[in-house]
Amino acid sequence: MEGLSLEEKIGQMLVVGFHGYKAPEHILDWLSEGRIGGVILFARNVDSPHQLAELTKTLHGAAKNPILIAIDQEGGTVARLRVGYTESPGAMALGAADNTGLTEQVSGVLATELRALGINWNLAPAIDLTHNIHNPSVGTRSIGADPEHVTRHAVAQINGFQNSGIAATAKHFPGKANTPVDPHVELPVIEGRLEEMWSTDLVPFRAVCDAGVAAVMITHVQFKDIEPTYPSTLSSRIITGLLRKKMGYKGLITTDCMEMKAVTNKYGPGESAVLAVTAGANTVLFSHTREYQEEVYDALLEAAESGRLSERQIDYSVQRIADVKQRYPAKPRPPLSVIRQPSHLEVTLRAARAGLVLLHNDRRLIPLKQDERVALLEFASHLEQPSLSRSTPTVFSSLLKERFPEYASVWLDPVAPTSAQIKQAEQLTESDRVIVATRNAHLSPVQKTQTERFLGRESILVCLRNPYDAGIIQCETTLLTLGDSTPSMQAAVEALGGDFTPSTRLRVPLTM
């Protein structure tokens, strides 16, 4: 912090993203001038491990001051690094396995690969509880519904990341378990009482703060009982009053991406950034738009020069940022050969097997017989880039095809399947064994209706995302992967083939 100009101090508080596999010139210029303190990466920036390692080397090399390079690598559904990297089961699968040592190992695997790539800040884990099956943005990202259970695994995840040299981030404070809408789309408003949150949502956050988590991310949710005016990201009552003072947290506080509509629908980029920092945030994330990033820097600098942001407050934030950078430096890097090394793949597959739930097998249809004609009807978004954090129909289908010689499949759009897709699926229902694989049918009436139409007494329901599909769709043979990462789908195929019989029990209620 010593020797930084005011302009550089303001830059330390700004974390930005960009599009493409190479850093644009303006990003390199900002780094060399000290105008930004960090960069956030997405799947859009990732082509291969070698390319990504070179990109981060370029970013670190261009920076006048040390920087944080951040990514969302939760594992499971939210993972920016997929093909070519070690994928891991998601938080709910780890919670179902309920082995904190294994949870810590999985996080250590992810952290080791991030370090090899030059990334030193992981925007994970999500330690929200799951209270509401209709919540569109938590689901299998959550460890579970019980605060003590979530706490044990949250601490294990953070230890796994940080003991392996990566700054971890507990999100989304103060908890978005009950959000009825996605903050990417609009501002969720929660009516719950703070006194209730002390024994539910806030329990894991208190524990990880005490355990020394490097950063806490604030969510774009308005909690009316605590803050009648602002979303949490802009609320001094929540950031300074609740997190800093009542909970005693002394680490780095960051916003979620400030370009979400929960914020931008009401506040401009510059004003929202100033409000967030005034409320107590140390870094603000603007992940996508150059014009917003420029406006934010200018607005923060103007607020500092006018006295709206005090020098003491700025220095406090810069010190929190500097502490994380000193504790989690980008060098030395492990060699790129650690990526997808056999021991990493073994750990994540073992975790996926341990997190697989055979909910029903009343008719003993699992394991499948090798000579059966197997048909897969899979609801999945068809994407060109499987590295994106969305479903892709290729992995589960490919794994089944390798296992069963008499095999056919069709993928259906999970929101609006076409008549051609439905017709092809109907033809495949004549197979000996029909597997219907859903992805969040509990949030899609069309998917639910079509799934019920395709299922027969000799069918198998495989819920590849949230387990709540099994709460609204009745099937005598039901398998829950608790996320559609590659190891979770591989474990499901192994169970279908009889390699092992899942013995894990589901640790979240199917209806809430």
Name the pairing type of β-strands 38-41 and 14-16. parallel
Distance CA 125, CA 75 (A): 9
Task: Judge whether 147 and 194 are in contact, CB under 8 Å.
Answer: no
Q: Is the peptide bond before 332 cis (omega within 30 degrees of 0)?
A: yes
* Catalytic residue set: 184, 256
Residue found under tokens 């009745």:
474
Which H or E run contains 241? Answer: none
Q: What are phi and psi of 407, to 5 degrees?
A: -140, 140
Q: Which amino acid type is present at position 33?
A: E
DSSP H helical ranges for 117-216: 147-162, 194-197, 202-210
Burial class of residue 294, CB neighbours in 10 A (0-12, 13-18, 19+): middle
- To the nearest 10°, report the CA torsion of 184, 190, 196, 199: 0
Cβ(377)–Cβ(425) below 8 Å: yes
Pairing of strands 222-223, 189-190: parallel
